[in-house]
Amino acid sequence: MACKKGELVKLRFAFTNTGDLPLIITKTEVECSCTTIAFPSEPILPKESSKIVVSFDTKNVYDRQDRIVEIISNAKNSNQKIRFKGVVLK
């Protein structure tokens, strides 16, 4: 990903609940205030799909960027991580 400084970059991550119970995302954790997360507030039923939207504000960052978003849920393999990298051009 490459973008110009000052842009708001939105990344969409689709996922499917492959478990046997409804999936509930309880919270997310990010490394800096330049990254915000929008995730489903309602349970995702087994075999259903949804998405997580990561918004990255490049107003106060530049050059190479490497960010990790942690997703916390009721899944057995909870605390999944999403990583994205990019370059913010001046």
- Report the 3 state secondary structure along 27-41: EEEECCCCEEEECCC
Q: Which residue ranges make up each domain of the chain?
A: 2-84
| pLDDT at residue 2, rounded to an integer | 86
| pLDDT at residue 32, rounded to an integer | 87
Long-range contact set of residues 76-82: C-beta below 8 Å, sequence gap at least 24: 76/19, 82/13, 82/52, 82/54
Which of the following CATH numbers is that of domain 2-84: 3.40.1620.10, 2.40.50.140, 1.25.10.10, 2.60.40.10? Answer: 2.60.40.10
Does the pLDDT of residue 51 top 90, yes or no? yes
Strands 35-38 and 49-57 come out as: antiparallel
pLDDT tens, position by position, 59-80: 988 899 999 999 999 998 889 9
Phi/psi class of residue 41: alpha, beta or left (left: φ > 0; alpha: ψ in -120 to 50)?
alpha
pLDDT tens, position by position, 11-46: 999 999 999 999 999 999 998 889 999 999 999 999
Average pLDDT, the chain: 94
